[in-house]
């Protein structure tokens, strides 16, 4: 297997499932970082081994994960192409965050691939496409591309982005996509906060080994998968993965209830002075908004076997796990890419039926206030704090347009977000991070 986006979530999820498959001995993952080389640098001297700390409400369980057999930084393009051409390769998984699923027709990678499919390219779609062209030339047969990011129909999205890029690069590239890849849709779930120095000590005392990059995760895990694997795959189902024909009901349940709830708590909770999800959940105001969001979002979810009330009860337990220090600033990052997936579909469906959402617009209002310098520091390349200044009546439509061009023109939504943002600003005093407005 190849993995693109070597980070904590992958190590708590796809690598864990692969380790726990009954045929694990036949599989190994060569993992490449998405951008920064840090995790590859940390894991190389450890031969790819690391401690996974599963942190339940009552204690930790520590295991050494051995399914990652080779690690590389994003710039190791020769190694990437070598693996891509290998007859042993069967599956590529990827965790590259919401921001990587875009095709920019003006990106320099387009011209680079046109001249040389083996060119050193940076963007995720170009790295995949260059690899598929190399594989097609090598004639080593089709493989499965398995995206594992929080987007609906993530496999279809990658397929579409690759086909758009291939159309610009040329007929050989288009053929390579058709002949060498299937695209698999997935839903992934496991809360994986950043580890700290105390976790390094926990790993050492449990294993007797020094691990500079352990991973902390919660006991819950979910992987729902739909698609074809032309060259085979580990028996992940024996480790708990669910194979189905259509992941979309599961995706909507997870993206709206869990991730939408997270985004609400990240903005409103950090504005109200909280640092972690569990702390925000103890605040009755945050908890009440979370419940309102869940009522609105759940009303739109359909599909047999979703078990929504049980799912929400379990989510409350997961969010409240006091031993998981899931920081709100980590979740607040990249809101411009997350809210269109997590919040807007609920708002749009409500508007279409003439009923008026207040929890969806409350999340948008809290995001606006966050961009205006309240709560967690802003970390989003696509929505700068400089867009957020001035009177709310001007800033709100400007910011909503970043999420969806039509939203900024919906006068009812704009008016409601302005009202809710005014209330949040009134109730929470001066911004804590005024500097981020400049």
Q: List residues binding ligand CS2 (CB under 6 A).
A: 150, 189-191, 259, 262, 330-331, 338
Is the dihedral angle over the CA atoms 28, 234, 341, 307 positive or is it negative?
negative
Residue whose C-beta lies closest to ligand CS2 = 262
Minimum separation from the CB atom of position 154 to ligand CS2 (A):
12
128 vs 83: CA distance, rounded Å: 12
Minimum separation from the CB atom of position 339 to ligand CS2 (A):
10
Shorter beta-carbon distance to ligand CS2: residue 143 or 290 = 290
Shorter beta-carbon distance to ligand CS2: residue 107 or 338 = 338
Shorter beta-carbon distance to ligand CS2: residue 231 or 242 = 242
414 vs 408: CA distance, rounded Å: 7
Minimum separation from the CB atom of position 297 to ligand CS2 (A):
14
Shorter beta-carbon distance to ligand CS2: residue 77 or 259 = 259
Minimum separation from the CB atom of position 189 to ligand CS2 (A):
4
Minimum separation from the CB atom of position 142 to ligand CS2 (A):
29
Shorter beta-carbon distance to ligand CS2: residue 76 or 324 = 324
Minimum separation from the CB atom of position 344 to ligand CS2 (A):
15
Minimum separation from the CB atom of position 254 to ligand CS2 (A):
7
Shorter beta-carbon distance to ligand CS2: residue 183 or 319 = 319
Minimum separation from the CB atom of position 241 to ligand CS2 (A):
14
Quick check: 37 and 67 in contact, CB under 8 A? no
Minimum separation from the CB atom of position 147 to ligand CS2 (A):
13
Shorter beta-carbon distance to ligand CS2: residue 190 or 256 = 190
Shorter beta-carbon distance to ligand CS2: residue 109 or 189 = 189
Shorter beta-carbon distance to ligand CS2: residue 4 or 324 = 324
146 vs 386: CA distance, rounded Å: 37
Angle, helix 284-298 to helix 308-320, in steps of 10 degrees: 150
Q: How far is CA 236 from CA 21, 41, 232, 240, in A?
A: 5, 28, 11, 7
249: Cβ–Cβ under 8 A, 6 or more apart, which residues?
A: 301, 302, 303, 306
Quick check: 324 and 60 in contact, CB under 8 A? no
Q: How far is CA 279 from CA 317, 319, 365, in A?
A: 13, 9, 21
Minimum separation from the CB atom of position 251 to ligand CS2 (A):
11
Shorter beta-carbon distance to ligand CS2: residue 27 or 223 = 223
């Amino acid at each position: 297997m190849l993995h693109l986006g070597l980070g904590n979530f992958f190590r708590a999820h796809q690598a864990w499932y692969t380790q726990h498959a009954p045929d694990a001995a036949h599989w190994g993952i060569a993992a490449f970082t998405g951008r920064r080389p840090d995790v590859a640098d940390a894991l190389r001297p450890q031969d790819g081994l690391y401690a996974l700390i599963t942190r339940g409400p009552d204690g930790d369980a520590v295991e050494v994960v051995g399914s990652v057999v080779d690690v590389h930084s994003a710039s190791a393009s020769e190694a990437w192409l070598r693996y891509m051409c290998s007859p042993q390769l069967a599956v590529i998984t990827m965790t590259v965050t919401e921001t990587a699923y875009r095709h920019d027709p003006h990106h320099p990678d387009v011209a680079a691939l046109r001249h040389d499919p083996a060119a050193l390219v940076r963007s995720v779609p170009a790295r995949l496409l260059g690899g598929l062209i190399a594989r097609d030339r090598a004639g080593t047969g089709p493989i499965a591309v398995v995206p594992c990011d929080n987007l609906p129909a993530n496999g279809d999205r990658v397929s579409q982005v690759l086909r758009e890029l291939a159309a610009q690069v040329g007929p050989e590239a288009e053929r390579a996509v058709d002949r060498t890849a299937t695209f698999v849709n997935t839903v992934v779930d496991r809360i994986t906060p950043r580890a700290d120095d105390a976790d390094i000590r926990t790993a050492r005392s449990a294993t007797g080994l020094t691990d500079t990059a352990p991973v902390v995760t919660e006991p819950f895990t979910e992987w729902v998968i739909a698609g074809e694997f032309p060259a085979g795959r580990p028996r992940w189902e024996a480790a708990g993965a669910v194979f189905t024909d259509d992941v979309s009901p599961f995706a909507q349940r997870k993206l709206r209830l869990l991730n939408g709830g997270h985004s609400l708590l990240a903005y409103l909770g950090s504005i109200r002075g909280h640092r972690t999800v569990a702390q925000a959940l103890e605040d009755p105001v945050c908890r009440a908004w979370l419940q309102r969001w869940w009522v609105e979002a759940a009303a739109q979810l359909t599909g047999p076997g979703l078990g929504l009330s049980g799912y929400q009860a379990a989510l409350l337990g997961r969010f409240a796990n006091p031993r998981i220090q899931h920081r709100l600033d980590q979740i607040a990052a990249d809101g411009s890419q997350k809210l269109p997936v997590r919040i807007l579909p609920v708002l749009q469906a409500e508007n279409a039926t003439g009923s008026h959402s207040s929890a969806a617009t409350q999340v948008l209002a809290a995001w606006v206030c966050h961009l205006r310098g309240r709560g967690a520091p802003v970390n989003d390349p696509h929505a700068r704090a400089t867009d957020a200044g001035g009177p709310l009546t001007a800033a709100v439509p400007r910011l909503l347009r970043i999420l969806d061009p039509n939203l900024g023109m919906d006068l009812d939504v704009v008016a409601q977000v302005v009202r809710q943002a005014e209330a949040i600003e009134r109730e929470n005093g001066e911004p804590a991070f005024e500097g981020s407005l400049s």
